[in-house]
Amino acid sequence: MSKRIIQTELAPAAIGPYSQAIRIGDFLYTSGQIALDPKSGKFLSGEIKEETEQTLRNISAILQADGLELENVIKTTVYLSDLNDFVQMNKIYEKYFSKNKPARACVQVAALPKGAKIEIDAIASCSS
Per residue in 81-100, pLDDT tens?
999 999 999 999 999 999 88
- Reply yes or no on whether 126 is catalytic: no
Q: How confident is the model at residue 128 (pLDDT cuts 50, 70, 90)?
A: low
CA 124 – CA 72 distance, rounded (Å):
5
Task: List the domain boundaries for the chain.
Answer: 3-125
Residue of 10, 44, 106, 123 marked catalytic: 106
- The pLDDT, as a whole number, for residue 16 is 87
Q: Looking at the domain 3-125, which fold is it?
A: 60s Ribosomal Protein L30; Chain: A; (3.30.1330)
Read off the pLDDT of residues 49-72 as tens digits, 9 standing for 90 and up: 999 999 999 999 999 999 999 999
CA 97 – CA 18 distance, rounded (Å):
26
